A and B are shown apart, each in its own frame.
Chain A
């Protein structure tokens, strides 16, 4: 069974703080890694998809990196804002089909 682990489970930061989360996965049979942002009562929103070792993606204040050889990805948020509060999900695909998700990191940004 493919196991995707995320840490920390939850995070509380002050507005303006920068933060990062980790996603760990088995490095064999890697196809693609996804980050999603999930707000309560809404659908998960795709942030990034990365396929190559060393990939770095950026969208505004959010960026992500990928290391397929050691089996991890980092998601960074620079200057956190209250609207960044959400659950951040990491998901792994092995062969371009089904996505297996981690448990998520819950971020709460206090103003």
Chain B
């Protein structure tokens, strides 16, 4: 069966510090991978999605970036965090050619 792992679960970082959130999927090959964010009082905003290794599409201009160094690994990064980066970050995967997404447990990021 397929599983998705996302870590850490919670993170408190100072403004200007770097960020690295990691997500890995097991039990499937060549998944579509996604990073979503929920800011306070808002729904899920698609940040990045990837259909293959090294292929990243950015949906929203911001100081975040994503990378996919391996087929089932998706990393969300920032060189310098802003207060506005605080929120709940979710990684998700779907089978290529379908759209039903399966989510990780999420990371609560607080930038102070």
Contacts and interface: CB of A to CB of B under 8 A. Distances in A.
Interface residues of A, number: 23
B89 interface: no
B2 interface: no
Interface string B59-99: 00000000000000000000000000000001010101111
Interface string A49-84: 100000000000000000000000000000000000
Nearest to A106: B41
A93 to B, nearest CB: 3
Contacts of A102: 43
Given A6-B43, A43-B90, A43-B105, A101 B36 contact: yes
Interface in A6-33: 6, 31-32
A44 B94 CA distance: 14
A89 B100 CA distance: 13
Contacts of B34: 98-99
A89 B99 contact: no
A43 B106 contact: yes
**Interface core residue of A32, A34, A91, A102 (most chain B CB under 10 Å):** A91
A-B residue pairs, 8 tightest by C-beta? A93-B99, A103-B43, A43-B103, A101-B44, A104-B43, A98-B49, A32-B99, A44-B103
Interface of A: 6, 31-32, 34, 41-44, 46, 49, 87, 89, 91, 93, 96-104
